[in-house]
Amino acid sequence: MTSWKDVEHAVPEFARRVRTLFDAHRHKTIATVRADGSPRISGIEAAFVDGELTFGSMPKARKGFDLRRDPRFGLHSATVDPVEGDEARWPGEAKVSGRAVLVGEGADGDSFRADIGEVVLTHLDEAATLLVVEWWTPAAGLRRVERE
């Protein structure tokens, strides 16, 4: 299993930039898999606690049922549009995907931690002329692509 602490250890500067985007806003978006195999998108809060990326589900929430049945998820930081004429200051967006591990359940809902499969950071280059996609996986490490 890959924890957030493992990401920080492997690629500290990249992990710092990703975490900054996740911490910038309270609300994130999570994708889960419905029973019929189709995607479900839900709002969620997530936190970095003791080297783990954690999130929860309110009692009887569909996303919690989804994650118990099929733990695959995609978590997306808040999305902020670039300001026209000032695109170079766009902070970008971050994504983490993997498997949700149930670590607690009760009257307040379910608690999960992320077994991380991939971390992605999308942003612009310094001149704001290229889209930069950086991604890290436990098996392949950090990679980068620039697109016009």
Parse the chain into domains and list their residue ranges.
Answer: 4-147
* pTM of the full structure: 0.94
Which residues make Cβ contacts (< 8 Å) with residue 102, sequence separation at least 6? 67, 68, 110, 111, 112
Topology at the third CATH level for domain 4-147: Pnp Oxidase; Chain A (2.30.110)
Give 26-59 as a DSSP string: SEEEEEEE-TTS-EEEEEEEEEEETTEEEEEE-T
The pLDDT profile of the chain, 148 residues, written as one tens digit per residue, is 999 999 999 999 999 999 999 999 999 999 999 999 999 999 999 999 999 999 999 999 999 999 999 999 999 999 888 888 888 889 999 999 999 999 999 899 999 999 999 999 999 999 999 999 999 999 999 999 999 9
